[in-house]
Amino acid sequence: MSKESFEHYRFTADPGQDPIRIDIFIMHRIEKVSRNKVQSHIKQGHVLVNGETVKANHKVKANDIITIELTEPPREFEIIAENIPLNIVYEDDDILVINKNAGMVVHPGYGNYTGTMVNALSYHFQLPDNPEGDPRPGLVHRIDKNTSGLLVVAKNETAMTHLAKQFYDHTVERKYIALVWGNVEANEGCIHSFIGRDSKDRKKFKSYEEEEQGREAITHYKVLERFAYVTLLECRLETGRTHQIRVHMKSIGHPIFQDETYDGNRLLKGPPHSKYKQYIQNCFKIIERQALHAQTLGFEHPSSGQIINFDSPLPIDMATVIEKWRNYIQPFKERFKDIFENK
């Protein structure tokens, strides 16, 4: 690195990485960046692969080291310790398991510098730095701001390395409960696609069939209960991409109930009469975020090697809406007999 440049990002391609264009590789790893901007940096020689400048059509291969160097030092987030209560369901010398409330951002980022779970953790604990120096001490995974449920946090570097490998190897058990629009016909299924940024809206993600358009994403789902117009699902993550369950459910025509980003916050299924519309509005007032909860988390303890599992009860807003649907559809079960017998 020259004296006039500063390393802003460093990525190491996965051992199983198939050849992929450098500009696409970078877009999948940096949020809120356009392809034109990435290609401009490449053209100006700011992007290096294994220490050498490359062209935009260069193919990244397994274990390549990609760095982005600019003439200005990178802006670092200052993590402000804040005395924010946390719902800690388990703690020992190596790990914390936290039941996150919906509405709390997990770590600082653009537009969310304070009030995050990491700000709270920094007040209560001394946590290891993230290996890449980003503002996520102790974190090996995350869940969306408006998703509730369980996360594990590492309290030391050994635990962080051990847990990160389990997430990389897809050996961590992660089950979510989701209420989705429509009647999901199959009792169980698997969605396998590639998730990347939506070209029309960079704040969203989209499910693609081609590997070059995103990162591999696998979600297994199982029907728990049917309410004719909505379905209660258990979703098990094999991979952990940003917005994965939300994107996958949207891709099969069953967006998550009240998911504003992926079109679940409007009336999608049901009779057209005004009483039903009012019923849906009342449901939206009860749960003002996507109906998605990270219920189960299981992994190998970094020190003991034992498999430990945690379960989190449904938060009040989700439980209330589910019960409301259960009561609403009860008088119509005979009419929808074919649906309820599809179990």
Could you please report the per-residue DSSP string of 128-177?
PPPTT--S-TTBS----TT-EEEEEEESSHHHHHHHHHHHHTT-SEEEEE
Pairwise CA distance, residues 26 & 40, whole Å: 12
Place of tokens 């996965």: 14
DSSP state for residue 109 in the 8-state scheme: B
CA distances from 3 to 71, 77, 197 (A): 9, 23, 34
Q: How many CB atoms lie within 10 A of CB 269?
A: 16
The count of residues in the chain is: 343
Q: Which of 94, 144, 259, 317 is catalytic?
A: 144
Pick from 338, 321, 322, 314: which is nearest to 150 by CA?
A: 314
Are residues 220 and 188 in contact, defined by beta-carbon separation less than 8 angstroms? yes
Catalytic residue flag (residue 338): no
Tokens of 60: 């990244």
Catalytic residues: 144
